[in-house]
Structure 1
Amino acid sequence: MKKPVALRLYAALATAALAAATGAVVSMPSASAASGSATGYATQNGGTTGGAGGQTVRATTGTAIHQALCGRASSSTPITIEVEGTINHGNTAKVSGDSCNTAAGVIELKQISNVTILGVGSGAVFDQLGIHIRESSNIIIQNVTVRNVKKSGSPTSNGGDAIGMERNVRNVWVDHTTLEASGGESEGFDGLFDMKDNTQYVTLSYSILRNSGRGGLVGSSESELSNGFITYHHNLYENIDSRTPLLRGGIAHIYNNYYVKLNESGINSRAGARAKVDNNYFKDSKDVLGTFYTDAAGYWQVSGNTFDNVTWSSPSGENNPAGPDPQSNTTVSIPYSYSLDGAGCVPDIVSRTAGAGKGLQVSNGNC
């Protein structure tokens, strides 16, 4: 049944008012909030659908992203925010409202749920501006670039993390993103993809992480072991010093990733963490798997990996490389279905599909 004319006019005026207030273009609910469906551990614990079924808003500034969050009926009302253009400090202000908790100089997804941020059109670049997810659930971030986020120097954002999650975060799918820095901690940068303080059920897929001292961590200290159930698949890690990732406790599934030029160490399983490491391709790298910089041991189950020009250090008090002939020292049961590409195909598949602006392509099982 059609709404009465007066109600339809009111709805149209309300939509126009929202668009005017946010500087964004608003459209009505769509069937799907993002392209494709979540994979890996993000499919567990009820699944990850982001803003599916909610309103779609187009934003070209960080302020407009915050205003879209604040303009919802509640902090859990589904919304897809299509982002185009460069988001930076100059166009990202704090916005207040009952359905949001934002801050200037960072994209703040705090105490909210059911949100998709999707890069569209000519692309979305978060320049020196991080994305912070805190006390939130059911979040999708897809097809965006986040670059040169600093924790020291100027400008600073998000503690220096490109994407950071902390404090009771659940069900996040980050897909087809490009996360990059221009150096390490001495240049003012921190991690590209960090999770801590009870963050669980996260998948990072078809993404590029490059030119950073630190790829990312799960857990902020050896005693902070509340995180886990993380999947990493079909990602490119290139020119990273360490932490691809660093795991402190918890379970991670790491498959079909392409690692090039890991300069100091790679997958660092510590403090009882268990990593299932399948069909990855490691090239021109050092100490790509093991327990490093601690005597708190972690564990791994390995199969089908390729080690191409990988060098290994000798074991010492705080360094326990898994190589030169990595063997499993635990078993990890994976609760979801997945398909493995052969490790020999991974460089070609990941090079064609990973990162923002690749048309959200995924592996078809061939190379």
Structure 2
Amino acid sequence: MKFSSIISLGLPALALAAPTRTIEKKRGTLAKRASVTDAPETGYATENGGTTGGAGGSTTTVASFAEFSSAVSGDEAAIIIVDGALTGEDTVKVGSNKSIIGKDSGASLTGFGVTIKGVSNVILRNLAISKVVGGDAVAVQKATNVWIDHLDLSSDRDHDKDYYDGLLDITHAADFVTVSNTNFHDHWKCSLVGHSDNNGDEDTGHLRVTYHNNYWSNINSRGPSIRFGTGHIFNNYYENVSDGINTRDGAQVLVENNVFVGASKPLYSTDAGYAIESGNDFGGAEATADKGTLSSVPYTYTALAASEVKSAVVGTAGNTLSF
């Protein structure tokens, strides 16, 4: 396993210029001002040539559903800044080479989801996406090099478990994805990697996904559930999540230094899924996943000790940036 002493996780990379290092108060914590050209520091999205999104392209600010839908289409490099609360229906398909970034904590998408399908090099950051009916809040399908960072994803648990679909589903041989600093909360079936037990021919050898420094709370299941893929899950904080990490259908998962509070099944296997775990705090529950073979990943990272995870994640994960 490779570690780097110069990489510090928990917050996205900050630009070196003085204006991007200012901080301001928000939600009782210190909100970091970030750069629209940030790239992921670690995770599978740094592989396969890396993920830069719309860096080098034009920058557009959008404040309506129609403006948003138009700006994210096509494959030319572009940075789209979301200013304010947008409402709509159904889903919006994103083109390649895009950075879609919420301007501040007031940036949100309600009632419609984002689909990243058959494209590459996409960054989605600092948005609240909620109560999407008829599809996933964020769907990544047949896409490569995607960084999902500092999102707040939620619905509610007042409805039936099938009323909403997933908050973040990564399917159909999507690959080289990093999910970081995201707040998943108040949902039944949260995050799925690999959509079907019968899709092994397409998915095997793909679905390489990293989840780190995310906050999962009031979730019933899929934190995440992984079929066929390769997952690295570290420094996540789980609170009142019934079924946490489910490895299945030949998936290989490396699970390190996560914290679970109030979980009944923090890490478990179904249908010959496998995991290697170390440094986790399962909160007194039992991890029952079958032992796997994934003991290292190809990128550098630094994992915080489990005792440090709560303070690093809670209050930081979610749409807590400012641009």
Change (3 A) 1:48 1:36: closer
1:229 paired with 2:229, answer: no
Distance 1:204 1:187 in 2: 24
Aligned to 1:339: 302
Match of 1:287 in 2: 265
Letter in 2 for 1:331: L
Partner residue of 1:303 out of 258, 261, 278: 278
Equivalent pair of 2:83/2:104 in contact (CA under 8 Å): yes
Q: What is residue 123 of structure 1 aligned with on the other side?
A: 106
| CA deviation profile, 1:43-101 (whole Å, cap 9, x unmatched) | 0111100000110000011211222245xxxx332100000111112xxxxxxxxxxxx
- The CA deviation at 1:291 is 1.5
Residue 77 of structure 2 aligns with which residue? 78
Instruction: Name the structure 1 match of 2:229.
Output: 250
Task: Tell me how far 1:185 sits from its aligned partner.
Answer: 4.6
Count of residues in correspondence between the two structures: 284
- Cα distance in structure 1, aligned partners of 2:198 and 2:161: 26
Query: Structure 1: 5+ residue runs without aligned partners?
Result: 1-31, 90-103, 152-158, 313-321, 361-367
TM-score (norm 1): 0.73
Shift in Å, 1:129:
1.2
Question: In angstroms, what is the RMSD of aligned CA positions?
Answer: 1.9
Q: Which residue does 1:215 correspond to in 2? A: 190
Distance change (3 Å), C-alpha of 1:122 and 1:337: closer
Deviation at 1:39, TM superposition (A): 2.5
SS in structure 2 of the partner of residue 356 of structure 1: coil
The equivalent residue for 1:181 is 155
Q: 1:107-139: per-residue Cα shift (whole Å, max 9, x none)?
A: 221xx3100000004521111211111111100
Match of 2:91 among 86, 93, 106: 106
| Aligned match of 2:25 | none
| 2:129 corresponding residue in structure 1 | 146
Partner of 1:18: none
Which secondary structure state, in structure 2, belongs to the residue aligned with residue 290 of structure 1? strand
Matched, 1:349 2:301: no
**Contact persistence 1:38–1:173 (CA under 8 A):** no
Call closer, same or farther: CA 1:342–1:359 in 2, change over 3 Å.
farther
Post-superposition shift, 1:358?
A: 4.4
1: distance between equivalents of 2:36 and 2:303? 26
Which structure's residues are more often helix, by fraction?
1
Write the distance in 2 (CA, Å) between the matches of 1:51 and 1:69.
Answer: 10
Which deviates more from structure 2 when the two are superposed, residues 203-212 or residues 183-192? 183-192
Sort the Cα spacing of 1:126 and 1:303 in 2 relative to 1 into closer, same or farther, 3 A.
Answer: same
**Contact 2:212–2:234 (CA<8 Å) still a contact in 1?**
yes
Q: 1:240 aligns with which of 176, 198, 219?
A: 219
Cα pair distance change 1:285/1:69, threshold 3 Å: closer
Using a 3 Å threshold, how does the CA distance of structure 1 residues 49 and 36 change in structure 2: closer, same or farther? closer
* Distance in 1 separating the partners of 2:105 and 2:155: 21
* Contact 2:38–2:52 (Cα < 8 Å) also in 1: no
Q: Is the 8 A contact 1:230 1:253 kept in 2?
A: yes
- Kept in 2, the 8 Å contact 1:50–1:138? The answer is yes
- Whether contact under 8 Å (2:127, 2:152) holds in the other structure is yes
- 3-state SS, counterpart of residue 97 of structure 2: strand
Which residue, 132, 138, 141 being the options, matches 1:163? Answer: 138
- Retained in 1: the 8 A contact 2:274–2:290? no
Equivalent in 116, 121, 134 of residue 117 of structure 2: 134
Aligned partners of 2:104 and 2:320 also within 8 Å: no
Select the structure with the greater relative contact order (CA < 8 A; seq sep ≥ 6): 2
Quote the offset at 1:187 in angstroms. Answer: 6.1
Pairwise CA distance, 1:309 = 4.1
The Cα shift of 1:36 comes to 4.9
1:265-321, Cα deviation, whole Å (9 max, x unpaired):
1111000000000000111111111124xxx210001110012243x5xxxxxxxxx
TM-score, length-scaled by structure 2: 0.83
Query: Does the 8 Å CA contact 1:181/1:211 hold for their aligned counterparts?
Result: yes
Q: Where does residue 66 of structure 2 map in the other structure?
A: 63
Q: Which protein is bigger by CA-based radius of gyration?
A: 1
The answer for the alignment partner of 2:23 in structure 1 is none
C-alpha separation in 1, matches of 2:105 and 2:231: 34
Query: 1:116–1:140: 8 Å Cα contact kept in structure 2?
Result: yes
C-alpha distance in structure 2 between counterparts of 1:127 and 1:188, whole Å: 16
Q: Is the 8 A contact 1:224 1:248 kept in 2?
A: no
Q: Give secondary structure in 2 for the equivalent of 1:297.
A: coil
